[in-house]
A and B are shown apart, each in its own frame.
Chain A
Amino acid sequence: MTTDKLPKILQDSIRENSVDIEVITKYLKLPWLKLDIKFDTPTQQDLEETFSNTDWRQKWQFPDHENQAYQVKGWNGNIFFGPTNFEKFLKLSASYNSTHDHDEDSRCRQLRKQIPYDWCVDDSSYIKKQVKKLLPSDEDINLVNSYNLPPGGYVFPHRDYALDGLGLAKIYVALKWSSGNVFGMYGCGNLPIHEGDVFLINNYTLPHWVYNGSKEHRIVIDISANLKSPLIAQKIADAFTKTFEVDLES
């Protein structure tokens, strides 16, 4: 293709255009993108560390945690990487978000450079080892969480909110996902998730809900990360190129 005689703006656009992570994750508002990432198959012992005895929603001080029997049934989680001084984090977060109920990922992204963050588990942790393979530098991690949902558990349709305007933002690892689990996204059907899949999901644009209709616990690892970090950025670009059959030849 000869573009030499075209106006410069067209020449540059045709030659330089490439997949841009910022456009895909912030402006496009895609509901999900399946990433070509695999965690090692966890043992039963590995899965144990994803369970928690404390109430996750209470820990994060979500305003409706006391009413969870109605809108949330059985849902809980554990933190693996996050703010080291959680009390300080909540206080700061509340001062910024008095009129909003941003989700945990968004709140951790917002304060990442302001207060210290670290792992809450040691190097032998399965989750830590898997995440480090994907994100070698802790500087690129904002939050690592598990989400547990027992058989019959659910979360009502809702939307999450973010200050930074992101769309696709949450790295969602289906560690344990038996048949009968549903992750519905309004107007898009259900996410085509199978056990072991890793998705990048957008929980900010559309109402969504989850239900565990299987006979086993559903376990998900939620990772909030710097999506421009090299390995993740490449995985997103590859997934986008494959899903939308992008032609980058010209």
Chain B
Amino acid sequence: MKVKIVFNAKFKKIKPKLFVGSENNSFNVELEKQTVFEEEFDLVPKDTLLIEFLNKCGVEDNIVFIKSIEIDGINLQHYIYDGTFFPQYDQDWLQKQTVTPPNFYKPCTELRVKGKWKLGITTPIWKMIMEKWLHDDR
């Protein structure tokens, strides 16, 4: 099943490096200012799309923006906001904080520190979208 992710990145010299994967797949990606990642995934019925920001540089403050995700030709639209980012804070920095920062961020499509962004997915994708609408009692 094809997975297409559009990333934007902010950096000076250090291009953000990502690990993109699922239960059965893993890819390493180095981002340009805009990158269209497109790969074939072997998704299991209940899977997790994982995007890990590997090389955050505090000096030049490189940032990753997840702009859109398309799976099996279907744009997940606003459901990318269901993704959760679990930051891996720099320990020296963390110890200096007087207020403990969050363990996770949701919604979050901007990866500003090292960490793992996870989105639960089920297939078929069209049915997953329908089920999300069905249970979306705003």
Query: A: which residues have CB within 8 A of B?
Result: 70-71, 99-101, 157-159, 161, 186-187, 206-207
Closest B residue, CB atoms, query A101: B138
- Which chain A residue has the least Cβ–Cβ distance from B137? A161
Chain A residues in 8 Å Cβ range of B133: 157-159, 186, 206-207
The total of Cβ contacts below 8 Å across the A-B interface reads 23
Taking CB as reference atom, which chain A residue is nearest B132?
Answer: A207
Residue contact B130 to A207, C-beta cutoff 8 Å: yes
CB <8 Å contact, A206 and B129: no
CB distance from A65 to the nearest CB of B (A): 15
Q: Are B138 and A100 in contact (CB under 8 A)?
A: yes
CA distance A187 to B134 in the complex (A): 10
* 9 nearest CB pairs, A to B: A207-B133, A186-B130, A159-B133, A207-B130, A161-B138, A100-B138, A207-B134, A157-B130, A157-B133
Contact between chains at B134 and A186 (CB < 8 Å) = yes
In the bound assembly, the distance between CA atoms of A207 and B133 in angstroms comes to: 6
Instruction: Give 16 CB contacts A-B under 8 Å.
Output: A70-B75, A71-B77, A100-B138, A101-B138, A157-B130, A157-B133, A158-B133, A159-B133, A159-B136, A186-B130, A186-B133, A186-B134, A206-B134, A207-B129, A207-B130, A207-B134
Q: Please indicate the chain A residues that have their CB under 8 angstroms from the CB of B134 in the complex.
A: 159, 186, 206-207
Which residues of chain B come closer than 8 Å to A207, judged between CB atoms?
129-130, 133-134
Determine the chain B residues whose CB is within 8 A of the CB of A186 once the complex forms: 130, 133-134
Q: Which of B64-105 contact A (CB under 8 A)?
A: 75, 77
Bound Cα distance A207, B136 (Å) = 10
From A156, which residue of chain B is reached at the shortest CB distance?
A: B77
Rounded to whole Å, the gap between the CB of B11 and the closest CB of chain A is 28
Measured between alpha carbons, how far is A88 from B33 in the docked complex, in Å? 44
